[in-house]
Amino acid sequence: TVLTTCLVGINHSDTRASGLLHGRRALVITLQAIPLMVVLFLLVPRVAPLWNMQVGGDKARTGMSDSMSPGQISELSESAELAFRVDFQGDMPPRAQRYWRGLTLSHYDGRTWQQAVPQGQPESEYLYQRGSEKPDWYKRLEGRRSPDQQYYRYQVIAEPTQRRWLFSLDVPFPLYGDVSLAKDMRLVANQPVSERFAYRVDSVPAVSAAINLTSQERQLMLSLPEGAGRKARGLAHQWRLESDSASDIAQRALDYFRDQPFHYTLRPPRLTVDPVDDFLFRTRRGFCEHYASSFTFLMRAAGVPARVVVGYQGGERNELGSHLLVRQYDAHAWSEIWLGGHGWTRVDPTGAVAPDRIELGLREALENSEDGRDLLDDLGLRRFSDGGLFAKVSQLMDYVDFRWQTWVLGYDSAFQSEFLEDLLGAVSPVRIAIALIVAVTLLMGLYALFLLWHGGNERLTLMEREYWRLHQRVSERGRPLEAGLTPMQLCQAISEQWPQAAIAADNWAKYYQKLHYDPVSLPNKQQKRHLRSLRNRLYKLLD
């Protein structure tokens, strides 16, 4: 609008119009262009750019890593950067059920958990890409879906990370986006996420029971490094002898975390020799990755297939809309164990030690911990929970940005194809061309009618209105006047009918001509005010 105002001013520099008048004309032009712009934006086929420059493609943003070792996720929790937004269509799960899985970590070397694929199985067999032939495990999952099952439909807009892994609830079925689904229930982008990335998902938690466990997978999910966690192995072996099922073993581990003096803290002591034994029997102070790592180790040592899952838990709702904001400080790690008849089952040992972390979020958990209040101030997290004007403005800005991302930047070729299919019934070049011609013709016809109507109702200028007000008053008080009188002829007609107003009429006529025909400048506010005062003084002499 500012640039159009400048162009209007350049092309109408001889009119001596004010900058405000140029701005108003530019605003009218812009408003007239918006309907046509919307039609072209929606209907013109969107094609990929001929070239694309990747900026910072080798640099990873703050976010999840493809491995986990003690202290790594607690470092993420010191960041308030946005990880992704989620917009639900329908019901939203309660906070305690918002587990956004990103990566499953199956290989443990004694200190670090990493991603792994069972030996002898190529990674391509673990991935299903939309549009390709469906593998058997995906057909089995789809076969377990039914209309009466609880599911969540939502759209995720992920921030750029330069990595491929994405985040979703259990069990995700991708509906839209350049996304693949892995057999371990994680979503994978087909290209590194170098800019904000949108995808839609249906999550059906009950379908997890349909995922089978092959012998190679079982072997991987039970593997432990030699010599690691000797005391933990002994404790797990004891639980196995005293328990009737895998779920009983898991419950014993949770009771152990709940009954022993474990503490939830963002600044745990260092684990030196053996991370598992040091944590379980010496320090007993840690963050979610400590509990998930040690619990998964205990399960494997007891003969229960288990793995670590890292992602995010929770999310802050924007009160102005229906979407969630998931930030880096929502990063979380938990465990999954294999139970016969139930498949992979989520177990979060952190909830046994700090239930507030799961039910309420990180800030509330830190508020209730012994060192948490100081951490809230040190990490700058307190400001996000405070109310007041700042919180309202922040939510408004986030809402506007989210809608811009959803409706404008997220309107890519796939989204357009889906929209046009709903609008036109089927997408074809002929139908798109007809829709474009009809829409543009309709808009141009409406605009032409507006110009014809507006052209027959010319607006008077300020000086013209001033003249006609006096002309109309004189015609009402005395004999009717002709329409084509000059200012001086109008003055003479007034003097003939009202001799006492001759001087006032002459003063008004001379000052009017001076302002109206001045080639140098337009009348300013003071001059306009003085002209009105001369006219009002003349009115009194006509009464």
Residue 498 lies in a domain: yes
Same domain, 211 and 350: yes
Which position has the higher pLDDT, 322 or 54?
322
Give percent of the chain with pLDDT exceeding 90.
33
Looking at the structure of the chain, the number of domains it has is 3
Which position has the higher pLDDT, 17 or 253?
253
Non-local (6+) Cβ contacts of 147 within 8 A are: none
Same domain, 388 and 293: yes
Same domain, 360 and 470: no
Q: Which of 288, 290, 323, 398 is catalytic?
A: 288
Rounded to 10 degrees, the C-alpha dihedral 389/390/392/395 comes to: 170
User: 272 falls in which pLDDT band (50, 70, 90)?
Assistant: confident
Confirm whether 109 is a catalytic residue.
no
Same domain, 299 and 336: yes
Answer positive or negative: Cα dihedral of 255, 259, 261, 264.
positive
User: Beta-carbon neighbour count of residue 20 at 10 Å?
Assistant: 9
| Residue that terminates a domain, selected from 392, 408, 438 | 392
Residue 140 lies in a domain: yes
Same domain, 466 and 513: yes
Residue 456 lies in a domain: no
Phi and psi at 227, nearest 5°, equal 80, -5
Q: Which of 22, 290, 323, 332 is catalytic?
A: 332
pLDDT at 456: 56
Q: pLDDT tens for residues 121-142?
A: 666 667 887 777 888 888 888 8
User: What is the DSSP code (8-state) at residue 285?
Assistant: E
Contact 448, 513 (CB under 8 A): no
Q: Which of 184, 277, 348, 356 is catalytic?
A: 348
Same domain, 84 and 39: no
Q: pLDDT tens for residues 494-532?
A: 998 999 999 999 999 999 998 888 766 678 888 889 999
User: 364 falls in which pLDDT band (50, 70, 90)?
Assistant: low
Same domain, 28 and 71: no
Answer positive or negative: Cα dihedral of 339, 342, 345, 347.
negative
Q: pLDDT tens for residues 176-194?
A: 778 889 888 999 998 888 8
Residue 424 lies in a domain: no
Tell me the mean pLDDT in the region 315-339.
88
Task: Give the integer Cα–Cα distance in Å for 477 and 471.
Answer: 10
User: Beta-carbon neighbour count of residue 234 at 10 Å?
Assistant: 11
Q: pTM here?
A: 0.71
Residue 408 lies in a domain: no
Residue 503 lies in a domain: yes
Residue 105 vs residues 116, 267, 477: alpha-carbon distances, Å:
7, 23, 95
Same domain, 98 and 25: no
Pairing mode of beta strands 197-203, 113-114: unpaired
In 280-413, where do the E strands start and end?
Answer: 285-286, 306-313, 316-317, 323-327, 331-339, 343-347
Angle between helix axes 502-516 and 525-542 (nearest 10 degrees) is 150
Confirm whether 12 is a catalytic residue.
no
Same domain, 278 and 373: yes
Same domain, 122 and 206: yes
Phi and psi at 56, nearest 5°, equal 65, 35
Same domain, 296 and 246: yes
Non-local (6+) Cβ contacts of 138 within 8 A are: 128, 181
| Residue that terminates a domain, selected from 346, 377, 392 | 392
Same domain, 7 and 148: no
Q: pLDDT tens for residues 385-431?
A: 455 677 788 888 888 888 888 778 777 777 788 788 888 888 888 88
Residue 99 lies in a domain: yes
Domain hosting 518: range is 462-542
Lowest pLDDT segment from 37-41, 385-389, 413-417, 448-452:
385-389
Predicted confidence (pLDDT) at residue 148 exceeds the cutoff of 90: no
Confirm whether 6 is a catalytic residue.
no
Residue 236 lies in a domain: yes
User: 56 falls in which pLDDT band (50, 70, 90)?
Assistant: very low
Pairing mode of beta strands 263-264, 179-182: unpaired
| Residue that terminates a domain, selected from 355, 370, 392 | 392
Pairing mode of beta strands 113-114, 107-108: antiparallel
* Average pLDDT of the chain to the nearest whole number: 84
